[in-house]
Structure 1
Amino acid sequence: MNVAVIGANGGIGRRLLPRLDQAGHDPIGVVRSDEQFDAIRERGGEPRLGDLEEEVAPALEGADAVVFTAGAGGSTGWDKTILVDLWGAERAVTACAEFGIDRFVMVSSRGAGDPESRQGPIKPYIVAKHVADRSLQRSPLEETILRPTRLTDEEGTGRVAAHFGTDPETGPPIPRDDVAQAVVACLENKDTVGHAVTLYGGDTPIEEAMQEAS
């Protein structure tokens, strides 16, 4: 499967490319600068230029599936959150529909299912994720939405707590490596289509946890 990863040089994307390659897929790493091309190749991906604030659609052509794991990051303003996390995601969904790319995995955020439950400085970010998720759910694409809690750079455990259709407020943080593994498991399990899954650190092997959708 040709899998285009939007945000391929980010914290999850960097870990996802080699996992896709090792699983027998052909990853496409969509990045904003050709200076990142060598790093994408080293991780087993085909590098392509795509800027969520300008033009990303051509980078997706020929893909069988798209993973959106991009984000403006906490060091930028809310304007970037709107342009990247919300508008960029919506444009990627539209491009998939135009190209006939049916499969889409969105890496969102815990709380995005009910932004009214979140208060404080993070709420605009959660609202942006909610609107992007909703646009994907209303599209004709076969979507899976992953909503991980607080992310860490610790080594992955290969285990998670996966909550289908519910959004518990508390739970352990989750390594980015485990989120990347969960993305691969979702792509390889059609039963996850149509589900929004909240992810915490946990004790269930990831592939087994994704089987809960069946």
Structure 2
Amino acid sequence: MRVAVIGANGGIGRELLPRLADAGHDPVGVVRDESQFEAVRERGGEPRLGDLKGEFASALEDADAVVFTAGSGGDTGWDETLLVDLWGARRTVDACVERGVDRYVMISAYQASEPLAEPEALRPYRVAKRCADDHLEQSSLDATVLRPTALTDGEGTGRISATFEYRDGGGDDIPRADVAEAVVACLANNETIGETIRLFGGDDPVEEAIRPHD
């Protein structure tokens, strides 16, 4: 499967590219600047240019699936959050519909289901994520939404904890590497299509944790 990773130079994207390659996929790393091309190649991906605030749709050429793991970053203002995390994400969904790219995995955020929850400072970010998620869920795409809790740069463990929206549950911070592993597992398991899954650090093997249970 050719998988286009939007935000390939971000924390999760960098972990995801080699894992996709190891799983037998053909990863495409969509980045904003040609200076990032070599890093994408080193991680096993084919680099392509794409700017969520400009032209990016050509980067999805021949893709079978898209993973959205881009973000405006904590050092930018809410204007960038609207342009990237909300409007940029929506544009990628629409581009997939137009191009017939059916499979889509969205990296969202914990508590996007409850944007007005504490802490107050994160409310605009969670609103942006929730609106992007809603647009995806209302589309015709075969979608999975992942909502990880606070992210760390720790070593991946291959073990997590997961709960399915809107069921109770919580857990520890999660390494970006394990979120990347969860993306690969979701692409391999069509039972995750149509699901919104919250991810935490935990003790369950990733493939088991993301499997829907009655």
Q: Fold match, TM over 0.5?
A: yes
Q: Give the counterpart letter for 1:189 in structure 2.
A: N
Instruction: Spell out the pairing of 1:117-156 with structure 2 (5 A cutoff).
Output: 117-156=117-156
- CA distance in structure 2 between the aligned counterparts of 1:159 and 1:72, rounded to whole angstroms: 28
Q: CA deviation at 1:119?
A: 4.3
2:84 is paired with a residue whose SS is helix
Residues 25-72 of structure 1 show CA distances to partners (whole Å, capped at 9, x for unaligned) of 000000000000000000000000000011111111110000000000
Checking the alignment, whether the CA contact within 8 Å between 1:142 and 1:194 is kept in structure 2 is yes
Checking the alignment, whether the CA contact within 8 Å between 2:163 and 2:169 is kept in structure 1 is no
Q: Give the counterpart letter for 2:123 in structure 1.
A: K
Corresponding position of 1:70: 70
Corresponding position of 1:79: 79
- CA distance in structure 1 between the aligned counterparts of 2:165 and 2:126, rounded to whole angstroms: 17
In the comparison of the two structures, how many residue pairs are matched?
214
- CA distance in structure 2 between the aligned counterparts of 1:161 and 1:38, rounded to whole angstroms: 34
1:116 is paired with a residue whose SS is coil
Q: Which runs of 5+ in 2 are unaligned?
A: none
Cα pair distance change 1:72/1:204, threshold 3 Å: same
Under a length normalisation based on structure 2, what TM-score does the superposition of the two structures give? 0.97
Residues 177-199 of structure 1 show CA distances to partners (whole Å, capped at 9, x for unaligned) of 00000000000000000000000
The answer to whether structure 1 residue 20 and structure 2 residue 20 are counterparts is: yes
2:120 is paired with a residue whose SS is coil
2:116 is paired with a residue whose SS is helix
Corresponding position of 2:43: 43
Corresponding position of 2:188: 188
1:211 is paired with a residue whose SS is coil
1:112 is paired with a residue whose SS is coil
The percentage of aligned residue pairs carrying the same residue is 62
2:14 is paired with a residue whose SS is helix
Checking the alignment, whether the CA contact within 8 Å between 1:165 and 1:197 is kept in structure 2 is yes
- CA distance in structure 2 between the aligned counterparts of 1:165 and 1:149, rounded to whole angstroms: 13
Q: CA deviation at 1:120?
A: 1.1
Q: Give the counterpart letter for 2:128 in structure 1.
A: A
Corresponding position of 2:56: 56
Cα pair distance change 1:176/1:167, threshold 3 Å: farther
- CA distance in structure 1 between the aligned counterparts of 2:168 and 2:152, rounded to whole angstroms: 19
1:72 is paired with a residue whose SS is coil
Under a length normalisation based on structure 1, what TM-score does the superposition of the two structures give? 0.97
Q: Which runs of 5+ in 1 are unaligned?
A: none
Q: CA deviation at 1:115?
A: 1.1
Q: Give the counterpart letter for 2:102 in structure 1.
A: D
- Root-mean-square deviation (CA, aligned residues, Å) is 1.2
The answer to whether structure 1 residue 7 and structure 2 residue 7 are counterparts is: yes
